[in-house]
Amino acid sequence: MKMQNNHSKIIINFAGDEEALKTFANYIKDKQIFENDANVIIESDDVVFQIPKTTNYYNKKKEIKILLKNFLKEFYKFKDILEFQNIFVVGITKHLTEISDIVQCEICGFSVNTEEELLIHRRMHGMI
Ligand SMILES: [Zn+2]
């Protein structure tokens, strides 16, 4: 079938959280968006958006990301999104990451809380 060639996929993975997946599936059903220009299918713990090649992929991806963010804000405040090429992974709670993620400078061993702080710190060593 030609179907695959006419679509790009954007995948939202719920990292095994069936409840969040179901809630999201209902959420987008209620919103009734993407009706005309994208199909939504559920595959195990993924929500897959099939984006027609005729639709602007990057705009659609942006739209889906905003949708997902609004969804998380409303239902799962502590979940965070990891973004890969065409995959959004809804995973580890923010709360846990904040506690467990102590980032260390590999040059001097200085500890900071976020990757951003580490970037700022690394600049002091003359690294980019
Ligand atoms: Zn350092």
Find the CATH number of the domain harbouring 59: 3.30.1360.210
Closest CA to 9 of 44, 41, 45: 41
Q: Measure the CA–CA gap between 46 and 15, rounded to whole angstroms.
A: 8
**Lowest-confidence range among 32-41, 46-55, 102-111?**
32-41
Domain membership flag for residue 68: yes
- For residues 46 and 11, the answer to whether their CB atoms sit within 8 Å is yes
pLDDT above 70: residue 106: yes
What's the 80 CA to ligand 1 centre distance in angstroms?
A: 27
> Where in the sequence is the domain holding 57, given as residue range(s)?
3-93
Q: What is the mean pLDDT of the chain?
A: 82
Number of domains in the chain: 1
What's the 98 CA to ligand 1 centre distance in angstroms?
A: 20
What's the 128 CA to ligand 1 centre distance in angstroms?
A: 12
- What global pTM score does this model have? 0.65
What's the 111 CA to ligand 1 centre distance in angstroms?
A: 8
